[in-house]
Amino acid sequence: MYWSDSQSDETITIPDDVVDAVFSISCRCLPVDHAHALRQALLAALPWLAEEQEAGIHPIHGAESGNGWMRPDRPEDLLYLSRRTKLTLRLPKHRIEDVARLSGVTLDIAGHALVVAASTVRALSPITTIFARYVALDAGADEEVFLAAAMAQLHGLGIKPKKMLCGIEKSIATPDGNVRTRSLMVADLSMEESIRLQQHGLGPLRQLGCGLFIPHKDIDEVRRAQS
């Protein structure tokens, strides 16, 4: 954990050069570790994604729990999806019309049919506590080493985080081997820093769902829950 307290007030206009395309989907279940299969299916349906190296595919996460059900952790387990589950792609604005053609397509994700329905466009969030479920920094298993690597990359983006918290190590399977990742929460950013980090992401492998930040509850709540 990295921690430094300060406060500031600001307003900012949210740029729309990078946005999220959010699709309703119909899919009964997917393997917990489906990132590579999802990427391959989307590349088959949208070949231009291969040219957009900074385009990101958000992981299809589903609910953590509900009606006594807890989200499984093993990569080979099945993740059962609700009707509210979405497929979200982070894209440059000029690709919005292109990605809209995905509506009506059925994707084969590791043998599971995922029907893509209507889409909406969502701007990036001005919230100053943001979270990535997977960040691949090749920094080994040590938490402090991971945070130091994250700090260095954030400084390279002109971002000076005051609070960071990372999670346990998780792997994403690919034909080239497992990718080691950790979740990362960054808090007390300025609004401009938050949007910049959402635009650029952190580390490689956006199309495996890595380095993509989304809004999250305040980091102080998470710290209290872990104490």
For the segment 2-42, what is each residue's pLDDT rounded down to a tens digit? Answer: 545 555 555 667 889 999 999 999 999 999 999 999 999 99
Contact at 8 Å (CB) between 105 and 45? yes
Which of 73-82, 93-102, 135-144 ranks highest by mean pLDDT?
A: 93-102
Region 61-89: mean pLDDT is 73
Confidence label for 187 from pLDDT (cuts 50, 70 and 90): very high
CB atoms within 10 A of CB 5: 8
Asked if pLDDT for residue 136 goes beyond 90, the answer is yes
Confidence label for 91 from pLDDT (cuts 50, 70 and 90): very high
Q: Output the pLDDT for position 140.
A: 59
CB atoms within 10 A of CB 227: 5
Region 115-122: mean pLDDT is 95
Q: Output the pLDDT for position 142.
A: 86
Region 184-192: mean pLDDT is 95
Q: Output the pLDDT for position 53.
A: 79
- The Cα 129–Cα 214 span in angstroms is 9
Region 133-155: mean pLDDT is 88
Contact at 8 Å (CB) between 75 and 31? yes
- The Cα 80–Cα 17 span in angstroms is 33
Q: Output the pLDDT for position 71.
A: 59
Mean of pLDDT over the chain: 87
